[in-house]
Amino acid sequence: MKAIDLSVSAVRELNQGLHDQAKQLTEAEWVVTHSNGAHNIAVGVDQALFIDIQGHAGYYCAGMNKKAHITVHGNVGTGVAENMMSGSVRVKGSASQAAGATAHGGLLVIEGDAGARCGISMKGIDIVVGGSIGHMSCFMGQAGRLVVCGDAGDALGDSLYETRIYVQGSVQSLGSDCIEKEMRDEHLSELKELLDQAGFAADPKAFKRYGSARQLYNFKVDNASAY
């Protein structure tokens, strides 16, 4: 196990060591101490590493992650797991805005709350939030699944494409073209699998499903004055 103390080492040194593992794997398990909210921790990892960050992290923690399994024992700033491709990221605390933004794959678990624009423009990632999420979450969500065990803020799923959204609590308002949809057996099964992966004991039957009404896909000349 490789231990890096960020009170004496720079984040650049940590990230370079992680990147080197893609060329020659010498250390599969990493522990990062005294993170103290530093930015860009474990960005661009491209190897199946296990990275344990023992403290809070700043913005873009685990951004562009590929293959790695990263755990943060604290809160994270803006853009955690931004543009993630695969692997998993687990946040033991809460996350700021734009969690999982533009991410193409993998699993992001936030055990606390997530701020505004959670899952903005998500393209295949699965996001499971143990608490609540802020406004404009899943804006222009294209693919993947967003699960919220708490409540959702204003304009949930605005301009949504094919992302599936499951919310257990209340939704302050739905965004343009986002509607409540029927919860069929296949969705209950899908949701249970996601909750199990996240380690949450919530009952899938307590959730509602939201998705696209598919009315914004094509330009309609009758609505030209509205554009």
* pLDDT for the residue numbered 215: 87
**Which structure tokens are listed for 40?**
């860009």
Instruction: Tell me the residue length of the chain.
Output: 227
Global confidence as pTM: 0.95
Residue 59 contacts residue 37 (beta carbons within 8 Å): no
* pLDDT for the residue numbered 40: 98
Q: Reply yes or no on whether the pLDDT at 224 is more than 70.
A: no
At position 115, the amino acid (one-letter code) is G
d(CA 104, CA 126): 9
Q: 23 falls in which pLDDT band (50, 70, 90)?
A: very high
Higher pLDDT, 5 or 225: 5
Q: Reply yes or no on whether the pLDDT at 121 is more than 60.
A: yes
Q: Is residue 93 part of a domain?
A: yes
d(CA 162, CA 121): 11
Q: Reply yes or no on whether the pLDDT at 227 is more than 60.
A: no
Residue 75's domain comprises 2-215
Q: What is the CA radius of gyration of the chain?
A: 18
**Which structure tokens are listed for 184?**
């069929």
DSSP letters, 59-117, are TTTTTT-BS-EEEESS-B-TTTTTT--SSEEEESS-B-SSTTTT--SSEEEESS-B-TT
Residue range 36-43: mean pLDDT, rounded? 98
* pLDDT for the residue numbered 222: 73
Residue range 173-196: mean pLDDT, rounded? 97
CATH code (residue 178): 2.160.20.60
Instruction: State the first-to-last Cα distance of the chain, in angstroms, to the nearest integer.
Output: 56
* pLDDT for the residue numbered 97: 98
d(CA 102, CA 89): 15
Residue range 36-41: mean pLDDT, rounded? 98
168-172 contact pairs (CB < 8 A, 24+): 168/202, 168/206, 168/207, 168/208, 169/132, 171/208, 171/210, 172/135
Q: Is residue 26 part of a domain?
A: yes
**Total domains in the fold of the chain:** 1
Q: Is residue 222 part of a domain?
A: no
Given the structure tokens 């799923």, which residue do they identify? 157
- For the chain, the average pLDDT equals 96
What lies within 8 Å, CB to CB, of 171 at 6+ separation is 151, 152, 156, 208, 210
Residue 98 contacts residue 79 (beta carbons within 8 Å): yes
Q: 220 falls in which pLDDT band (50, 70, 90)?
A: low
d(CA 117, CA 136): 5
